[in-house]
With several copies, the nearest count.
Chain A
Amino acid sequence: MISLSDNALAARVARDIPDGSYVNLGIGKPTHVSAFLPEGREVIYHSENGILGVGPTPPAGQEDVELIDASKRFVTAVPGAAYFEHADSFAMMRGGHIDIAVLGAYQVAENGDLANWATLDEKYPPAVGGAMDLVVGVPTILVMMRHVNRDGSPKLLRRCTFPLTGLGVVSRIYTDLAVLDVTPEGFRLVELTPGNSLSEVQALTGAPILHPMPT
Protein backbone atom coordinates (compact mmCIF):
# COMPACT_ATOMS: atom_id res chain seq x y z
CA MET A 1 0.00 0.00 0.00
CA ILE A 2 1.21 3.46 -0.86
CA SER A 3 0.46 6.06 1.83
CA LEU A 4 0.81 9.73 0.97
CA SER A 5 2.87 11.84 3.33
CA ASP A 6 1.07 14.64 5.14
CA ASN A 7 2.62 17.15 2.77
CA ALA A 8 1.64 15.18 -0.32
CA LEU A 9 -1.90 14.88 1.00
CA ALA A 10 -2.05 18.63 1.65
CA ALA A 11 -0.82 19.24 -1.90
CA ARG A 12 -3.48 16.89 -3.29
CA VAL A 13 -6.23 18.82 -1.49
CA ALA A 14 -4.73 22.14 -2.60
CA ARG A 15 -5.02 21.08 -6.26
CA ASP A 16 -8.82 21.07 -5.89
CA ILE A 17 -9.16 24.59 -4.43
CA PRO A 18 -10.30 26.84 -7.29
CA ASP A 19 -8.91 30.29 -7.94
CA GLY A 20 -10.92 32.99 -6.19
CA SER A 21 -12.29 30.78 -3.41
CA TYR A 22 -12.91 31.76 0.20
CA VAL A 23 -11.56 28.86 2.23
CA ASN A 24 -11.47 27.91 5.90
CA LEU A 25 -8.74 25.47 6.90
CA GLY A 26 -9.51 23.54 10.07
CA ILE A 27 -7.05 23.30 12.91
CA GLY A 28 -4.19 20.81 12.61
CA LYS A 29 -3.19 19.26 9.28
CA PRO A 30 -5.64 21.21 7.10
CA THR A 31 -3.75 24.42 7.88
CA HIS A 32 -0.89 23.07 5.74
CA VAL A 33 -2.98 23.06 2.57
CA SER A 34 -2.31 26.73 1.85
CA ALA A 35 1.43 26.11 1.54
CA PHE A 36 0.77 23.89 -1.48
CA LEU A 37 -1.65 26.03 -3.47
CA PRO A 38 -0.66 25.85 -7.16
CA GLU A 39 0.93 28.98 -8.64
CA GLY A 40 -1.38 31.54 -10.17
CA ARG A 41 -4.38 31.01 -7.90
CA GLU A 42 -5.58 33.64 -5.44
CA VAL A 43 -7.44 32.09 -2.54
CA ILE A 44 -8.59 34.02 0.55
CA TYR A 45 -8.17 32.06 3.74
CA HIS A 46 -10.59 32.68 6.60
CA SER A 47 -9.76 31.93 10.18
CA GLU A 48 -12.67 31.95 12.59
CA ASN A 49 -10.83 34.00 15.18
CA GLY A 50 -11.38 37.06 13.00
CA ILE A 51 -9.34 37.34 9.83
CA LEU A 52 -9.92 36.97 6.11
CA GLY A 53 -6.65 36.85 4.19
CA VAL A 54 -4.48 34.66 6.40
CA GLY A 55 -0.93 34.72 5.04
CA PRO A 56 2.14 32.56 5.65
CA THR A 57 3.98 32.11 8.93
CA PRO A 58 6.08 35.19 9.70
CA PRO A 59 9.88 34.95 9.82
CA ALA A 60 11.26 34.16 13.26
CA GLY A 61 11.43 37.27 15.41
CA GLN A 62 8.75 39.08 13.42
CA GLU A 63 5.73 37.40 15.00
CA ASP A 64 2.84 39.55 16.17
CA VAL A 65 1.49 37.80 19.26
CA GLU A 66 -1.97 39.16 18.54
CA LEU A 67 -2.06 37.90 14.93
CA ILE A 68 -2.80 34.20 15.05
CA ASP A 69 -5.02 31.67 13.28
CA ALA A 70 -7.54 29.23 14.73
CA SER A 71 -4.75 26.74 15.37
CA LYS A 72 -3.12 29.45 17.54
CA ARG A 73 -0.17 29.61 15.13
CA PHE A 74 1.45 32.96 14.35
CA VAL A 75 0.39 34.11 10.88
CA THR A 76 0.55 37.18 8.67
CA ALA A 77 -2.13 39.11 6.80
CA VAL A 78 -2.03 39.32 2.99
CA PRO A 79 -2.95 42.46 1.03
CA GLY A 80 -6.74 42.69 0.93
CA ALA A 81 -7.12 41.17 4.40
CA ALA A 82 -9.74 42.26 6.93
CA TYR A 83 -10.13 41.82 10.68
CA PHE A 84 -13.52 41.40 12.39
CA GLU A 85 -15.10 40.13 15.58
CA HIS A 86 -16.42 36.68 16.36
CA ALA A 87 -20.14 37.12 15.63
CA ASP A 88 -19.28 38.50 12.19
CA SER A 89 -16.74 35.74 11.63
CA PHE A 90 -19.31 33.05 12.30
CA ALA A 91 -21.89 34.86 10.18
CA MET A 92 -19.47 34.25 7.30
CA MET A 93 -19.36 30.55 8.14
CA ARG A 94 -22.98 29.87 9.07
CA GLY A 95 -24.36 32.22 6.43
CA GLY A 96 -22.92 30.36 3.46
CA HIS A 97 -20.34 32.97 2.48
CA ILE A 98 -17.28 30.71 2.69
CA ASP A 99 -16.96 28.40 -0.29
CA ILE A 100 -14.88 25.54 1.05
CA ALA A 101 -13.80 24.20 4.42
CA VAL A 102 -11.10 21.58 4.86
CA LEU A 103 -11.46 19.66 8.10
CA GLY A 104 -9.88 16.76 9.87
CA ALA A 105 -12.08 13.90 11.07
CA TYR A 106 -12.26 11.00 13.48
CA GLN A 107 -14.92 9.32 11.32
CA VAL A 108 -16.93 9.93 8.17
CA ALA A 109 -20.03 7.92 7.28
CA GLU A 110 -21.21 6.98 3.81
CA ASN A 111 -24.19 9.34 4.25
CA GLY A 112 -21.83 12.26 4.78
CA ASP A 113 -22.10 12.38 8.58
CA LEU A 114 -18.97 13.79 10.17
CA ALA A 115 -17.54 13.07 13.63
CA ASN A 116 -14.55 15.21 14.50
CA TRP A 117 -15.03 16.73 17.93
CA ALA A 118 -15.56 14.14 20.64
CA THR A 119 -14.63 10.57 21.34
CA LEU A 120 -16.41 8.17 23.64
CA ASP A 121 -13.85 8.76 26.40
CA GLU A 122 -15.99 10.28 29.12
CA LYS A 123 -13.07 11.44 31.22
CA TYR A 124 -11.79 13.64 28.43
CA PRO A 125 -13.57 17.01 28.42
CA PRO A 126 -15.45 17.65 25.19
CA ALA A 127 -14.23 20.57 23.04
CA VAL A 128 -16.22 21.53 20.00
CA GLY A 129 -14.75 24.80 18.73
CA GLY A 130 -16.13 26.06 15.44
CA ALA A 131 -16.53 22.84 13.46
CA MET A 132 -20.31 22.57 13.95
CA ASP A 133 -20.80 26.07 12.53
CA LEU A 134 -18.59 25.36 9.53
CA VAL A 135 -20.39 22.19 8.50
CA VAL A 136 -23.88 23.70 8.56
CA GLY A 137 -22.90 26.79 6.59
CA VAL A 138 -20.13 25.97 4.15
CA PRO A 139 -21.46 24.32 0.99
CA THR A 140 -18.34 22.25 0.27
CA ILE A 141 -16.84 20.36 3.19
CA LEU A 142 -13.61 18.54 2.35
CA VAL A 143 -12.24 16.07 4.88
CA MET A 144 -8.52 15.37 5.02
CA MET A 145 -7.37 12.47 7.18
CA ARG A 146 -5.51 9.20 7.46
CA HIS A 147 -7.56 6.41 5.90
CA VAL A 148 -7.44 4.25 9.04
CA ASN A 149 -6.80 4.69 12.75
CA ARG A 150 -3.42 3.83 14.27
CA ASP A 151 -4.74 0.41 15.17
CA GLY A 152 -5.75 -0.17 11.55
CA SER A 153 -9.50 0.14 12.16
CA PRO A 154 -11.47 2.08 9.53
CA LYS A 155 -12.42 5.75 9.86
CA LEU A 156 -14.73 5.56 6.82
CA LEU A 157 -17.86 3.81 8.02
CA ARG A 158 -21.46 2.96 7.26
CA ARG A 159 -22.43 5.01 10.30
CA CYS A 160 -20.32 7.02 12.73
CA THR A 161 -19.97 5.66 16.24
CA PHE A 162 -18.53 8.84 17.75
CA PRO A 163 -20.71 11.90 18.51
CA LEU A 164 -21.56 13.76 15.32
CA THR A 165 -20.39 17.19 14.28
CA GLY A 166 -22.93 17.46 11.49
CA LEU A 167 -25.38 15.34 9.54
CA GLY A 168 -24.79 14.59 5.86
CA VAL A 169 -22.34 17.43 5.44
CA VAL A 170 -19.18 15.95 3.88
CA SER A 171 -18.62 16.39 0.13
CA ARG A 172 -15.29 14.65 -0.42
CA ILE A 173 -12.67 12.79 1.62
CA TYR A 174 -8.94 12.92 0.93
CA THR A 175 -6.93 10.21 2.66
CA ASP A 176 -3.39 8.98 2.31
CA LEU A 177 -4.74 6.06 0.27
CA ALA A 178 -7.52 7.49 -1.93
CA VAL A 179 -9.95 10.28 -2.72
CA LEU A 180 -13.65 9.49 -2.30
CA ASP A 181 -16.82 11.45 -2.95
CA VAL A 182 -19.91 11.21 -0.76
CA THR A 183 -22.86 10.55 -3.06
CA PRO A 184 -26.50 9.71 -2.36
CA GLU A 185 -25.48 6.08 -2.97
CA GLY A 186 -22.50 6.18 -0.63
CA PHE A 187 -18.73 6.52 -1.06
CA ARG A 188 -17.61 6.71 -4.69
CA LEU A 189 -13.98 6.42 -5.73
CA VAL A 190 -12.47 9.54 -7.30
CA GLU A 191 -8.89 8.34 -7.45
CA LEU A 192 -6.47 5.97 -5.80
CA THR A 193 -3.06 7.03 -4.58
CA PRO A 194 -0.93 5.71 -7.45
CA GLY A 195 0.16 2.16 -6.68
CA ASN A 196 -2.92 1.23 -4.64
CA SER A 197 -5.74 -1.01 -5.82
CA LEU A 198 -9.41 -0.54 -5.11
CA SER A 199 -9.61 -3.91 -3.40
CA GLU A 200 -6.76 -3.01 -1.06
CA VAL A 201 -8.41 0.28 -0.13
CA GLN A 202 -11.83 -1.36 0.17
CA ALA A 203 -10.41 -3.77 2.71
CA LEU A 204 -9.48 -0.79 4.93
CA THR A 205 -12.85 0.91 4.54
CA GLY A 206 -15.90 0.25 6.69
CA ALA A 207 -18.48 0.80 3.92
CA PRO A 208 -18.69 -0.16 0.25
CA ILE A 209 -16.77 1.98 -2.25
CA LEU A 210 -18.72 2.38 -5.47
CA HIS A 211 -17.09 1.89 -8.86
CA PRO A 212 -15.16 4.88 -10.02
CA MET A 213 -16.73 7.30 -12.43
CA PRO A 214 -16.00 6.35 -16.03
CA THR A 215 -13.04 8.41 -17.25
Chain B
Amino acid sequence: MDKRLPDLAAAVAPITDGAVVMIGGFGSSGIPFGLIAALLEQGASGLTVISNNAGAGETGIATLLKAGRVAKVICSYPRTPGSIWFERRFEAGEIALEVVPQGTLAERIRAAGAGLGGFFTPTGYGTLLAQGKETRIIDGVGHVLEAPLRADFALLRAERADRWGNLSFHATARNFNPVMAMAARHAVAEVRQLSDEPLDPEQVVTPGIFVQAVVEYGVRP
Protein backbone atom coordinates (compact mmCIF):
# COMPACT_ATOMS: atom_id res chain seq x y z
CA MET B 1 0.00 0.00 0.00
CA ASP B 2 1.59 3.24 -1.13
CA LYS B 3 -0.63 6.29 -1.54
CA ARG B 4 2.18 8.68 -2.47
CA LEU B 5 1.88 10.36 -5.86
CA PRO B 6 4.73 11.91 -7.81
CA ASP B 7 3.17 15.33 -8.46
CA LEU B 8 0.18 17.60 -7.98
CA ALA B 9 -1.08 17.02 -11.52
CA ALA B 10 -1.49 13.30 -10.85
CA ALA B 11 -3.40 14.13 -7.68
CA VAL B 12 -6.06 16.22 -9.42
CA ALA B 13 -6.24 14.17 -12.64
CA PRO B 14 -9.40 12.27 -11.63
CA ILE B 15 -11.48 15.43 -11.10
CA THR B 16 -14.15 15.77 -13.77
CA ASP B 17 -16.40 18.61 -14.92
CA GLY B 18 -19.32 19.08 -12.57
CA ALA B 19 -17.61 17.39 -9.64
CA VAL B 20 -18.38 18.32 -6.03
CA VAL B 21 -15.06 19.29 -4.46
CA MET B 22 -14.38 20.02 -0.81
CA ILE B 23 -11.40 22.29 -0.21
CA GLY B 24 -9.84 22.51 3.25
CA GLY B 25 -8.70 25.68 4.94
CA PHE B 26 -9.83 28.64 7.01
CA GLY B 27 -8.63 32.13 6.16
CA SER B 28 -5.17 31.60 4.78
CA SER B 29 -4.28 28.52 6.85
CA GLY B 30 -4.65 24.92 5.83
CA ILE B 31 -5.53 25.73 2.22
CA PRO B 32 -4.15 23.30 -0.39
CA PHE B 33 -2.75 26.04 -2.62
CA GLY B 34 -0.70 23.57 -4.65
CA LEU B 35 -3.65 21.32 -5.44
CA ILE B 36 -5.87 24.29 -6.30
CA ALA B 37 -3.24 25.57 -8.74
CA ALA B 38 -3.03 22.11 -10.28
CA LEU B 39 -6.80 21.94 -10.58
CA LEU B 40 -6.85 25.31 -12.33
CA GLU B 41 -4.23 23.99 -14.75
CA GLN B 42 -6.13 20.74 -15.22
CA GLY B 43 -9.22 22.60 -16.41
CA ALA B 44 -12.24 20.94 -14.80
CA SER B 45 -15.24 23.29 -14.73
CA GLY B 46 -18.79 23.50 -13.48
CA LEU B 47 -17.50 22.61 -10.04
CA THR B 48 -19.39 22.79 -6.78
CA VAL B 49 -16.91 23.98 -4.18
CA ILE B 50 -17.51 23.27 -0.48
CA SER B 51 -15.20 25.31 1.71
CA ASN B 52 -15.38 27.70 4.63
CA ASN B 53 -14.40 30.74 2.61
CA ALA B 54 -14.55 31.65 -1.06
CA GLY B 55 -10.99 32.78 -1.62
CA ALA B 56 -9.35 36.15 -1.22
CA GLY B 57 -7.40 38.35 -3.61
CA GLU B 58 -6.01 36.39 -6.53
CA THR B 59 -5.14 33.23 -4.62
CA GLY B 60 -6.63 29.86 -3.80
CA ILE B 61 -10.31 29.39 -4.57
CA ALA B 62 -10.42 32.92 -6.00
CA THR B 63 -8.34 31.70 -8.96
CA LEU B 64 -10.99 29.10 -9.76
CA LEU B 65 -13.75 31.70 -9.47
CA LYS B 66 -11.83 34.14 -11.66
CA ALA B 67 -11.39 31.49 -14.34
CA GLY B 68 -15.11 30.68 -14.29
CA ARG B 69 -14.69 27.09 -13.15
CA VAL B 70 -17.11 27.24 -10.25
CA ALA B 71 -20.87 26.82 -10.64
CA LYS B 72 -21.77 26.76 -6.97
CA VAL B 73 -20.21 27.60 -3.62
CA ILE B 74 -21.32 26.07 -0.33
CA CYS B 75 -19.62 27.91 2.51
CA SER B 76 -20.11 29.79 5.76
CA TYR B 77 -18.19 32.97 5.08
CA PRO B 78 -17.71 34.03 1.44
CA ARG B 79 -16.93 37.60 2.42
CA THR B 80 -13.32 37.43 3.57
CA PRO B 81 -11.75 40.86 3.06
CA GLY B 82 -10.59 40.94 -0.56
CA SER B 83 -12.97 38.27 -1.88
CA ILE B 84 -13.34 40.30 -5.03
CA TRP B 85 -13.72 37.37 -7.43
CA PHE B 86 -16.44 35.80 -5.37
CA GLU B 87 -18.24 39.14 -5.16
CA ARG B 88 -17.99 39.74 -8.92
CA ARG B 89 -19.31 36.30 -9.82
CA PHE B 90 -22.04 36.56 -7.21
CA GLU B 91 -23.21 40.01 -8.24
CA ALA B 92 -23.26 38.94 -11.88
CA GLY B 93 -25.45 35.98 -10.95
CA GLU B 94 -22.86 33.59 -12.33
CA ILE B 95 -22.62 31.33 -9.31
CA ALA B 96 -25.06 29.78 -6.92
CA LEU B 97 -24.41 30.25 -3.22
CA GLU B 98 -25.51 28.22 -0.23
CA VAL B 99 -24.54 29.83 3.07
CA VAL B 100 -24.33 27.42 6.00
CA PRO B 101 -23.51 28.30 9.61
CA GLN B 102 -19.91 27.29 10.17
CA GLY B 103 -20.53 24.65 12.81
CA THR B 104 -23.39 23.19 10.82
CA LEU B 105 -21.10 23.07 7.78
CA ALA B 106 -18.47 21.11 9.74
CA GLU B 107 -21.09 18.84 11.27
CA ARG B 108 -22.89 18.15 7.96
CA ILE B 109 -19.54 17.15 6.47
CA ARG B 110 -18.77 14.94 9.45
CA ALA B 111 -22.24 13.34 9.25
CA ALA B 112 -21.56 12.33 5.65
CA GLY B 113 -18.20 10.89 6.62
CA ALA B 114 -19.69 9.04 9.57
CA GLY B 115 -22.57 7.52 7.59
CA LEU B 116 -25.33 9.38 9.42
CA GLY B 117 -28.57 10.42 7.73
CA GLY B 118 -28.80 13.87 9.31
CA PHE B 119 -29.02 15.58 12.67
CA PHE B 120 -31.01 18.08 14.67
CA THR B 121 -29.07 21.18 15.68
CA PRO B 122 -30.22 24.28 17.56
CA THR B 123 -27.97 26.41 15.33
CA GLY B 124 -29.91 28.72 13.07
CA TYR B 125 -33.34 27.94 14.52
CA GLY B 126 -35.66 30.87 13.92
CA THR B 127 -33.34 32.51 11.39
CA LEU B 128 -33.36 32.97 7.62
CA LEU B 129 -30.97 30.04 7.26
CA ALA B 130 -33.58 27.66 8.65
CA GLN B 131 -36.24 28.69 6.15
CA GLY B 132 -37.71 25.71 4.34
CA LYS B 133 -36.06 23.27 6.70
CA GLU B 134 -37.77 20.81 9.01
CA THR B 135 -37.70 21.98 12.61
CA ARG B 136 -38.54 20.36 15.90
CA ILE B 137 -38.69 21.40 19.55
CA ILE B 138 -36.50 19.02 21.57
CA ASP B 139 -36.39 19.44 25.36
CA GLY B 140 -37.90 22.87 24.90
CA VAL B 141 -35.29 24.10 22.45
CA GLY B 142 -35.92 24.71 18.74
CA HIS B 143 -33.81 22.57 16.41
CA VAL B 144 -33.28 22.40 12.65
CA LEU B 145 -32.82 19.14 10.75
CA GLU B 146 -29.63 19.26 8.68
CA ALA B 147 -28.58 16.80 6.00
CA PRO B 148 -25.17 15.21 5.47
CA LEU B 149 -22.93 16.94 2.94
CA ARG B 150 -20.68 14.70 0.86
CA ALA B 151 -18.31 15.24 -2.02
CA ASP B 152 -16.70 13.46 -4.92
CA PHE B 153 -13.27 14.85 -4.04
CA ALA B 154 -11.55 16.56 -1.17
CA LEU B 155 -8.44 18.67 -1.59
CA LEU B 156 -6.58 18.86 1.70
CA ARG B 157 -3.52 20.47 3.22
CA ALA B 158 -1.53 18.65 5.90
CA GLU B 159 1.90 18.83 7.48
CA ARG B 160 3.15 15.25 7.16
CA ALA B 161 1.98 12.01 5.61
CA ASP B 162 3.31 8.49 5.36
CA ARG B 163 2.75 5.96 2.57
CA TRP B 164 -0.44 4.71 4.25
CA GLY B 165 -1.99 8.16 3.97
CA ASN B 166 -1.87 8.93 7.69
CA LEU B 167 -1.84 12.70 8.21
CA SER B 168 -0.66 15.14 10.85
CA PHE B 169 -1.28 18.89 10.78
CA HIS B 170 0.35 22.09 11.90
CA ALA B 171 -1.31 24.51 14.34
CA THR B 172 -4.60 25.98 13.05
CA ALA B 173 -4.07 24.55 9.56
CA ARG B 174 -6.05 21.55 10.77
CA ASN B 175 -9.51 23.21 10.63
CA PHE B 176 -11.83 21.54 8.06
CA ASN B 177 -9.23 19.16 6.62
CA PRO B 178 -9.93 16.13 8.86
CA VAL B 179 -13.72 16.13 8.41
CA MET B 180 -13.45 16.71 4.66
CA ALA B 181 -11.13 13.70 4.37
CA MET B 182 -13.96 11.60 5.82
CA ALA B 183 -16.72 12.91 3.57
CA ALA B 184 -15.22 12.63 0.09
CA ARG B 185 -15.18 9.59 -2.14
CA HIS B 186 -11.60 10.48 -3.09
CA ALA B 187 -9.53 12.61 -0.71
CA VAL B 188 -6.15 13.94 -1.77
CA ALA B 189 -3.74 15.72 0.56
CA GLU B 190 -0.82 17.94 -0.29
CA VAL B 191 1.65 17.78 2.57
CA ARG B 192 4.64 19.82 3.50
CA GLN B 193 6.65 16.68 3.99
CA LEU B 194 6.20 13.08 2.89
CA SER B 195 7.70 10.82 5.49
CA ASP B 196 9.56 7.63 4.65
CA GLU B 197 8.89 6.43 8.16
CA PRO B 198 5.38 5.71 9.41
CA LEU B 199 3.89 8.46 11.56
CA ASP B 200 3.65 7.68 15.28
CA PRO B 201 0.26 5.96 15.65
CA GLU B 202 -0.51 8.08 18.73
CA GLN B 203 0.00 11.28 16.74
CA VAL B 204 -1.96 10.50 13.60
CA VAL B 205 -4.80 13.02 13.34
CA THR B 206 -6.41 11.70 10.15
CA PRO B 207 -5.97 7.93 9.75
CA GLY B 208 -5.02 6.83 6.25
CA ILE B 209 -8.31 5.01 5.72
CA PHE B 210 -9.84 8.43 4.95
CA VAL B 211 -7.13 9.45 2.46
CA GLN B 212 -6.74 8.06 -1.04
CA ALA B 213 -3.61 9.89 -2.18
CA VAL B 214 -0.85 12.13 -0.80
CA VAL B 215 1.60 14.35 -2.61
CA GLU B 216 4.42 16.53 -1.36
CA TYR B 217 4.17 20.30 -1.76
CA GLY B 218 6.82 21.70 0.49
CA VAL B 219 5.83 25.34 0.43
CA ARG B 220 4.23 26.68 3.59
CA PRO B 221 2.36 29.68 2.24
Q: Mark A54-77, 1 if CB is under 8 A from B, else 0.
A: 000000000011111110100001
> Which of B114, B127, B220 is A163 in contact with, Cβ under 8 Å?
B127
> Which of A42, A118, A164 is B1 in contact with, Cβ under 8 Å?
A42
Given known A-B contacts A86-B179, A130-B76, A53 and B201 have beta carbons under 8 A apart: yes
Expressed in whole angstroms, the Cα–Cα distance for A64 and B106 within the complex equals: 24
> Which of A72, A95, A118, A166 is B128 in contact with, Cβ under 8 Å?
A118
Q: Is A90 an interface residue (CB 8 A)?
A: yes
B172, A97: Cβ atoms under 8 Å?
no
> Which of B110, B164, B169 is A80 in contact with, Cβ under 8 Å?
B164
Q: Is A85 an interface residue (CB 8 A)?
A: yes
Q: Which residues of A contact B163 (CB under 8 A)?
A: 80
Q: Is A132 an interface residue (CB 8 A)?
A: yes
B175, A50: Cβ atoms under 8 Å?
yes
Q: Is A203 an interface residue (CB 8 A)?
A: no
Q: Mark B114-157, 1 if CB is under 8 A from A, else 0.
A: 11100001111111110000000000001000000000000000
Most buried by B among A67, A69, A126, A130: A130
Q: Mark B155-180, 1 if CB is under 8 A from A, else 0.
A: 00000001110100111111111110
Q: Is B205 an interface residue (CB 8 A)?
A: yes
**In the complex, what residue of chain A is closest to B56 when comparing beta carbons?**
A72
**In the complex, what residue of chain B is closest to A53 when comparing beta carbons?**
B201
Interface residues on B, range: 35 or more
Interface of chain B residues 77 through 112 with chain A (CB within 8 A) = 77-80, 86-87, 90-91, 97, 99-104, 106-107, 109-110, 112
Q: Is the interface of B mostly helix, strand, loop or mixed?
A: loop
Q: How far is the CB of B212 from chain A (nearest CB, A)?
A: 11
Expressed in whole angstroms, the Cα–Cα distance for A49 and B26 within the complex equals: 7
B172, A44: Cβ atoms under 8 Å?
no
Interface size on A, residues (CB 8 A): 61
Given known A-B contacts A82-B166, A125-B86, A47 and B1 have beta carbons under 8 A apart: no
Q: Is B204 an interface residue (CB 8 A)?
A: yes
Q: Which residues of A contact B26 (CB under 8 A)?
A: 49-50, 68, 70, 86
Expressed in whole angstroms, the Cα–Cα distance for A81 and B162 within the complex equals: 10
Which 5 residue pairs of A and B lie closest in terms of their CB atoms, listed nearest first?
A90-B103, A133-B103, A94-B115, A91-B114, A127-B79
13 A-B contact pairs sorted by A residue (CB < 8 Å): A51-B172, A53-B201, A67-B172, A80-B163, A84-B174, A87-B109, A87-B178, A97-B209, A98-B209, A128-B99, A137-B115, A167-B125, A167-B126
